[in-house]
Amino acid sequence: MPRFVRAYIRGFQGSNGESNLHIFAGQYIFDYLYPLYHAILVITPEFLAPSSNVYTLDHVFDAAASQMYYMGSPFTDTQYLEIGVYDRFGGFRIRTQASLAVAPFETCQLEPLANYWLPA
């Protein structure tokens, strides 16, 4: 599995059909085909804070604590993730539902820490 430096990740990138992307209380939350699906993906505490640590994609979300809902009822789901540069501003983003096409305007920024070195 590919490894990446956390400091290079700027945020999350949505796929077609995703909307309402945001981060709240350490959770990446989005809707898919609103109002049918609602996802709450718990971000691991180690990944949430900017650092020069190296991770793999399977360490971004806490799968056991995350949940997907279909019309209000929880169900088991598999998220396909990928890392890429999806806009002209550069910086890597993690994309959920990577089997779908990219939705270029659906993005969610990770909050940078003040005075933290972030590579250009």
Q: pLDDT tens, 20-50?
A: 999 999 999 999 999 999 999 999 998 987 7
Q: How would residue 113 be classed by pLDDT, with cut points 50, 70 and 90?
A: low
Q: 39: Cβ–Cβ under 8 A, 6 or more apart, which residues?
A: 28, 29, 30, 31, 32, 66, 67, 68, 69, 77, 79, 96
pLDDT of residue 116: 64
Contacts 24+ apart (CB under 8 A), 23-26: 23/108, 23/110, 23/111
- The whole-model pTM stands at 0.89
Q: What is the percent of the chain with per-residue pLDDT over 90, rounded to a whole number? A: 62
How confident is the model at residue 1, as a pLDDT? 72
